[in-house]
Structure 1
Amino acid sequence: MKSTSPEADPACTDANVHRRARIALAAVCEPGEAGLADAIDSRGPTATVAALLDGGRQRPKIPRADGLRRRLEELDLDALIDRGRDIGARVVVPGDSQWPGRMNELRAHRPLALWCWGEADPRLMALRSVAIVGARACTRYGEWIAREWSAQLAQDHVTVISGGAYGIDAAAHRGALAVEGVTICVLAGGVDTPYPRGNEGLFAEIVDRGLLVSEAPPGETVRRRRFLTRNRLIAALASATCVVEAAHRSGSVTTASNAAELNRPVLAVPGPVTSEMSRGTHRLVHEGIAMLAADVTDVRAVLPEFERAHDAAPHDSRGDSRRHATQHESAAQFGEQPISRALQEVLDVVPTPRWSAEGMSLDDIAVRSGVSRAQARTRLAQAEEMGLVQRRGQDRWVYAPADGAHGRA
C-alpha cells in the first residue's frame, strides 16, 4: 500500500474506502494492538493509515508504529480481500449489519475486523449463545458432558461457540452439529488455514452449517500467543461461558477470566477431586469467578431469554448483576418516543433485507428473542408503526427502518 492510496487519504469521506482502510489496519496489526483502536477512534481509519505511512511528526502514539508502517507498505489489500472471497469468506467490520456489537465491549482490545467463513450471521447467532470450552487432553467424562450439553443447548436454539481444538472444543462443536444446531468456531489463525489440521473434516462441517471466525487475515498461520488473545473473542462473543474441564493453569481458565471481566456469566463443571483436568474448574468456583454447573439447566438459567421462557433461576445471586450487564441497552429514539428494552430485544433478532430478503418468520423471531408468539406479534406491530420493520409475505419480517427512524444501538 502506498501513501497515495485512497485508503491513506485523511480527507476521504467515502464509506467503502474507510471500510477498506480498517481492513488494512486489521490485517497488519497484532490482536489488541496497543494504541491502535484509540487512534482510529480519534482520527478515523484513513487518517490513521496516512499517519502510519507518513512516519513523521503526526505519527500516532502506537508503540509498534514502525512495524505497522512496514507491514502496510508491503500489504496488497486487493489480493488479501480476493483471497478470502475466493473461498467464500467475507470481512465484517464495525458498522456492518453483521458486526457483533458485543465485541466493542473489549474497548481498546477489540478486534478491528472479523473474517467469517460460513452462512451464519455472527451478530444474530451470538444473541443467544454459550461458549463451551475446556482441555484438549480431556477425559471421557468431560468429552461426554461437552457433547451432550452442547446438543441439548443447540436443540433449544442456543448457538454453541468454541475454539476448534481437540478435546472439549471439538466435542462441543460436534454435539451442536449432531442435532442440526448452529456452532461458531473462533480460530487463532486465518479462516483458510484452520488449526489443528486433524480437525479439517470438522471445520468443513462448521463452514457448511455454522461459521468460522477469526480476527487474523486469510493466510495467517497460527502462532502460540494468538491462542490466548483469541480467547478474549470467545468470551466477548458468547452470552455466557461454561468451562467443562481445565488444568489449574490453562487457556480455558483465561477465557473464563475474560468473560468475568466483561460481566458475563461464567460456569464451571465439577469433576473428581483426583482429576488434574478438573483442578481448573474447581479453582474457578473456589475463587468465585464461576458458578457451579451441575446440569445443563444451570447453563440455561444464566441466559436471560431462558429465564423469561422457562422461569429458570440461577444457583448464584451473582447471575442477577451479570444478566443485567449482558442485556442489550438502547438509547435509540424515534421522534419523542424511546424504544423500550422489550422492543429492542425483538428488533435485535430481525434480519436486514441484505441478509435475508424473504425475512424471518414470526415463530423464529419469538424463539430467538425469548418471548411468546403473541408478544412478538405485538412488538412487531409496534415496530411497524414506528417505521422500523417491514412485513414480507405471511408473517415474515425484515429490519428496514424508514428514513430518520433508528431502532438499533
Structure 2
Amino acid sequence: MARAALARVFEPGDERGGRWLREFGAAEVFRRLTGTEGVARTLAGMTEARLGGYRLRAAGVDPRKDLADMAALGGRFVCPGDQEWPTQLDDLGDARPVGLWVRGRRDLRLWALRSVAVVGARACTPYGAHMAAALGAGLAELGWVVVSGAAFGVDGAAHRGALAAGGATMAVLACGVDVAYPRGHAELIGRIAEQGLVMGELPPSEHPTRSRFVLRNRVIAALTRGTVVVEAEYRSGSLVTARSAQRLGRFTMGVPGPATSGLSAGVHELLRGEGVLVTDAAEISELIGEIGDLAPVGRGPVLPRDQLDPVSARVLDALPRRGVRDGRDVARSAGTSTDEALGRLYELYSLGFVEREGDGWKLTSGPTCNGDARRGVT
C-alpha cells in the first residue's frame, strides 16, 4: 500500500527516494514524508523545498482508489519482492521502479526472462517500419517476447509484427496504463493488453512528459536481454535506451541503414562502438539466446560450376568466351596433360558445359555455361 502511494509521490528514477526505500522501507518513508517536518528531515538529503514538493503530492494520494481502479481494468500493482517481480530491474539500483502497474493476464517475470527490446525513430522511413515489423514477427516466431514503448514509428511496427505472428509482446508506457498515449495507438495498446502485457511506473490517470519518456527507457533496457535500435538520429531516445542497456551489461544491437540517411546516423554511431550489427531475428537470437540458437550461415546461391573439381574447373576456364580451342591448347592453359584435358572435356560435355565443333571445343551457348561458368570472369 505504501509503495502504491509513493508511486504518486516520487517521479520515475528518483534515486534519492530509492535510497530512502532501501534504507527504511516503503511504509517508514511514507510515514516520514507525511509526518511532522522534524521526522521528515531525518531523511538524508531532504531540503525544505524538496519536502514541500513531496508533501504537496502526498496530500492527494489515495492508494486504495488507485489499486481499485487497476483491479477494475483487470490489472495489478507489482512490487519488488513479489513473485511476479522481474529481478533484473534490481540492476537499476536506487533508480529501480517503486513498482509496476500492469495490465494483462501473462506472468511478467516469466515473460521478461526471454525478452528483447526493439526501439527506434517515431518518424521512421518505410524501410525502418518494414525492418521493425519483420524483426517483431521473426522474434515472436522464435519464442521471444518483443518489448517496446508503443510509440508511433518503429515501436508500433515492432508490436504489430509480433501480434501478427501470434506472438508475445509487452509495451512499457511513460504514463498510466489506463491512458492511451499516443491516442492514435489506443486500439494497438488494447490489443497488446489482451494478447500480452502493458506496464508502466506511473499510477492510473498520469500523463506523459518529456522527462518521463527518457526515464521510461531505462526500464525497457533493464527488463530485456538486449536492445535493438532500428532507426535513430544522433539525438534520440532510442540511443538513450541502448546506452542504458550497455551500462547494465545488456546486449546492444543496431540495424544498419543507408549511409546518407540522417535517421540511421545514430545507429551507425552505435555500431562503431559496442553495438553489434544485426539484420534479422535469427542473428538477434544467436547473440542473446542460449547455446544452439544459431543463425543460418549466410552464403550466395550455389551454381553448377561450384560443383566441379579443381582440375575440371581449370579446364573449363581454359576455353575462350567465344571461339573454338583444340584439346592440346586447352591442356597447356589448364596446366595438365592432353589426355587428362580431353577426359575432363568429355566429362564437361556430358554435364552440358561444353560442346564439340570439329576437332575443337567451345563453351555451350545455353544458360549452364553462359549464366554460370563464365559469370564474373574478366
**Correspondence 1:188 to 2:169:** no
Q: Tell me which of 187, 190, 214 is aligned to 1:228.
A: 214
Offset of 1:23 from its aligned partner?
1.4
> Residue deviations 1:165-203, cap 9 Å, x none?
000000000000001111000000000002100011101
Q: Contact conserved, 1:187 with 1:194, CA < 8 A, in 2?
A: no
SS of 2:292's partner is: helix
Match of 2:7 in 1: 26
Q: Structure 1: state its 5+ residue gaps.
A: 1-19, 315-409
**Structure 2 vs 1, CA of residues 22 and 154 (structure 1 numbering), >3 Å: closer, same or farther?**
same
Offset of 1:275 from its aligned partner?
0.8
**Correspondence 1:38 to 2:24:** no
Q: Structure 2: state its 5+ residue gaps.
A: 298-378
Q: Which stretches of structure 1, 4 residues or longer, exceed 6 Å deviation after superposition?
A: none
> Residue deviations 1:74-103, cap 9 Å, x none?
212211111111111110001111111011
Match of 1:273 in 2: 259
SS of 2:198's partner is: strand
Match of 1:310 in 2: 293
> Residue deviations 1:365-385, cap 9 Å, x none?
xxxxxxxxxxxxxxxxxxxxx
**Correspondence 1:204 to 2:190:** yes
**Structure 2 vs 1, CA of residues 311 and 297 (structure 1 numbering), >3 Å: closer, same or farther?**
closer
The aligned runs of 1:232-381 (5 Å cut-off) are 232-286=218-272, 288-305=273-290, 308-311=291-294
TM-score relative to the length of structure 1: 0.69
Match of 1:128 in 2: 114
Q: Contact conserved, 2:119 with 2:229, CA < 8 A, in 1?
A: yes
Q: Contact conserved, 2:282 with 2:296, CA < 8 A, in 1?
A: no
Q: Contact conserved, 2:221 with 2:227, CA < 8 A, in 1?
A: yes
Give the Cα–Cα distance (whole angstroms) in 2 for the partners of residues 250 and 289 of structure 1: 17
Deviating more after overlay: 236-245 vs 293-302: 293-302
Match of 1:75 in 2: 61
Q: How many residues align?
A: 292
SS of 2:39's partner is: coil
TM-score relative to the length of structure 2: 0.75
The aligned runs of 1:131-210 (5 Å cut-off) are 131-210=117-196
Q: Tell me which of 61, 71, 79 is aligned to 2:44.
A: 61
Match of 1:15 in 2: none
> Residue deviations 1:294-345, cap 9 Å, x none?
333221122232xx2335699xxxxxxxxxxxxxxxxxxxxxxxxxxxxxxx
Offset of 1:163 from its aligned partner?
0.2
**Structure 2 vs 1, CA of residues 238 and 169 (structure 1 numbering), >3 Å: closer, same or farther?**
same
Q: Contact conserved, 1:129 with 1:158, CA < 8 A, in 2?
A: yes
Q: Tell me which of 31, 34, 41 is aligned to 1:50.
A: 31
Q: Contact conserved, 1:55 with 1:69, CA < 8 A, in 2?
A: no
- AA paired with 1:197? R
Q: Contact conserved, 2:147 with 2:169, CA < 8 A, in 1?
A: yes
SS of 2:147's partner is: strand
Q: Contact conserved, 1:117 with 1:211, CA < 8 A, in 2?
A: yes
Match of 2:319 in 1: none
Q: Contact conserved, 1:34 with 1:62, CA < 8 A, in 2?
A: no
Give the Cα–Cα distance (whole angstroms) in 2 for the partners of residues 228 and 251 of structure 1: 6
Offset of 1:133 from its aligned partner?
0.3
Identity %: 43
Q: Contact conserved, 2:138 with 2:282, CA < 8 A, in 1?
A: no
> Residue deviations 1:94-130, cap 9 Å, x none?
1111111011100011001000011121111011111
Measured on the aligned residues, the alpha-carbon RMSD in Å equals: 1.6
Give the Cα–Cα distance (whole angstroms) in 2 for the partners of residues 166 and 302 of structure 1: 27
Match of 1:403 in 2: none
